[in-house]
Structure 1
Amino acid sequence: MTHSTYPIGTPGKQWNHEDKAHWLACQSIKRSYQQEVVTLIDELKSTLEVQQYGELNYAAGSYPLYALKTTDFDTNKATVLITGGVHGYETSGVHGALRFAKTLANKYAEHFNIVITPCISPWGYETINRWNPDAVDPNRSFYQGSTAQESAAVMNYVQSLNTDLIAHIDLHETTDSDNSEFRPALAAREGKVNTNWNIPDGFYLVADSNKPEPAFQKAIIEHVEKVTHIAPSDENQQLIGVPQTQFGVINYAGRDLGLCMGFSEAAYVTTTEVYPDSATANPEECILAQVAAISGALDYIINK
């Protein structure tokens, strides 16, 4: 299935500054980062350390960026990074990170230092968008010298912690809007013809092909399927156009693609993909699936 046109730009030509400005002018605020995210972060100040690690400054306004940490960091413990909201529109990634912070982070603090950045792209959260205001995808921008403020800020913050990560769990969603809006927009921006992928009906994982850790991914899938259904592969044995390596798992080259999961040296990495548009899913189930993915990952490392 393809979309040959998009209402912005000239087919076959990459967007110029005017096209990007046109795209930005079409975006609007649809929900509040302050009311829906920051208020929940503030509620956790009595149990977790809250740090502001940066601020995004755009024409539309400024957005403070927050991290949550378990207290009393211990250099003898391994450190786990949990990231949400790299794509701000992927709601359960943000609220799954916050729910884990509220309900389970301190339980796992016996074994790990835990760092949570629940909403890396707050403008994207407010506008329900995959990109930032510069029409840049933060989840293709995790590399040295990144021009995406969101990506650069969290990478600098993690580096400032001066700790080695054992695991990095990056929380995402795959939505029907990937085909209706975001992939067509990407093709238009790049001056290419869009080819949509089959949207998987259910939860799946993206592992890093450079360190896939299949047993780790399998343990997460088994934990999540107690909460929500796992996406079956399509007729080509693929998920989003990529061959399935095991049930519910595909591999991407995280660092080569500039993905959030690829920027650290953590031994265990994964990207979750929840499907909120499923006929059998609801927002709470999606949040619980993200929490289950985190706890399944940490349980595996503890018991290994």
Structure 2
Amino acid sequence: MQEYPIGTPGKPWGDEEKAQWLAQQSVKRTYQQEVLDKLDTIPDGFKLVQYGALPYDATRYPLMAVVPENFNASLPNMLVTGGVHGYETSGVQGAIAFIREHLSEYAERCNVVVCPCISPWGYETINRWDPLALDPNRSFYKDSPAPESAQLLAFVESLELAFTMHIDLHETTDTDNSEFRPALAARDGTEHDEWEIPDGFYLVSNSKNTQLGFQQAIIDRVREITHIAPADENGKIIGADIVSEGVIGYDKKSLYLCGGLTDAEYVSTTEVYPDSPNATPEICNEAQVAAVRGGLDYVLAK
């Protein structure tokens, strides 16, 4: 793996190195135009609520969710999250597309909560981390130092709902190897091997409760949009054992992943590959929408 230009190999970063890293980040797209402006029209029966704001710039980075105007206590509760890693574009845009195009179809059958962009600073700067050099998707725990994670946790807890399903929308990109894993190794003073970036869509299930039927239903729906990632030469995907076609598993709670923030029975993290020669931004967004719909339809059919 390449040597990262910040820090000393084998030595974890201190405040100086983190400040040096932050100084190199810049805004490359706008949260206002690409996210907030697209949430100007919400389907009937739902409303847009602000559940917090990032302390780096509270005016620039309000944290938004789409929720039912009235929760029906007799219906199951479903959670969709996107943009925990801000650089994973289709997670955000797919969540927005689902809100605009399909959310109303589920209004009478379940209570759907959608948080389309958990990390708006990361979205604007195309980053995996937040300005504190923290990965929000490893920070979902009590008194989390990552405000993105802490505020989402507080919001979900405030709803006082038992969620049946949670789908978290992500991407795996070539920059995972070229930038983000080298940065992680440098920050922590460790070594991280490069992994083979899978060419295609895959899922990360909750290894403590895989629910293979649920995962397969999502894979089958997404297959109509884009190709499913094959195993690598070692029979794995990103170094993890395959439990079903296009499906691996992580212990989401022990890793403090967003997918572990509820006790939902049905949990999955999508992974779209936008750098595939067979992919386009539209295909990636459609794959995320298909994953959400496939998951919802499966659970509602149960």
TM-score bracket relative to the smaller structure:
over 0.9
Correspondence for 2:61: 63
Asked if 2 retains the 8 angstrom alpha-carbon contact of 1:80 and 1:165, the reply is yes
Q: Does 1:92 align with 2:124?
A: no
Partner in structure 2 of residue 77 of structure 1: 75
Pairing 1:13-52 to 2, within 5 Å after superposition: 13-44=11-42, 48-52=46-50
Letter aligned with residue 299 of structure 2: I
TM-score, normalisation: structure 2:
0.98
Q: Does 1:238 align with 2:236?
A: yes
Cα displacement string for residues 96-135 of structure 1 (whole angstroms, at most 9, x for unaligned residues): 0011111111111121100000000000000000000000
Aligned equivalents of 1:105, 1:285: Cα separation in 2? 19
* Cross-structure match for 1:109: 107
CA distance in 1: counterparts of 2:266 and 2:295, whole angstroms: 9
Who is 1:220 aligned against?
218
Shift of 1:62: 4.3
Identify the match of residue 287 of structure 2 among 286, 289, 297.
Answer: 289
CA displacement 1:135-160 (0-9 Å, x = unmatched): 00000001111110000101110111
Moved over 3 A (4+): 59-62
Aligned-pair identity in percent equals 56
Query: d(CA) in 2 for partners of 1:127 and 1:45?
Result: 29
Q: Is residue 133 from structure 1 mapped to residue 131 from structure 2 by the alignment? A: yes
Counterpart position of 1:205: 203
- Compute the displacement of 1:59 (Å): 6.5
Q: Tell me if the contact between 2:43 and 2:103 (Cα under 8 Å) persists in the aligned partners.
A: no
Q: Distance in 1 between matches of 2:301 and 2:16?
A: 54
Q: Residue 267 of structure 1 corresponds to which residue in structure 2?
A: 265
Q: AA paired with 1:86?
A: V
How big is the alpha-carbon RMSD for the aligned residues of Structure 1 and Structure 2? 1.2
Q: How does 1:250-265 map to 2 (within 5 A)?
A: 250-265=248-263
> CA 1:175/1:256 → structure 2, altered by over 3 Å: closer, same or farther?
same
Kept after mapping to 2: 8 A contact 1:207/1:250: yes
After TM superposition, the score normalised by the length of structure 1 is 0.97
- Per the TM alignment, residue 73 of structure 1 is displaced from its structure 2 partner at its CA by 1.2
Q: Quick one: distance in 1 between partners of 2:44 and 2:93?
A: 19
Kept in 2, the 8 Å contact 1:75–1:163? The answer is no
> Are residues 1:147 and 2:145 paired?
yes
Q: Give 1:169's aligned residue.
A: 167
- The amino acid of 2:228's aligned partner reads I
Structure 2 residues not aligned, in runs of 5+: none
How has the CA–CA distance of structure 1 residues 156 and 148 changed in structure 2, closer, same or farther, with 3 Å as cutoff? same
Are the equivalent residues in 1 in contact too, given 2:46–2:69 (CA < 8 A)? yes
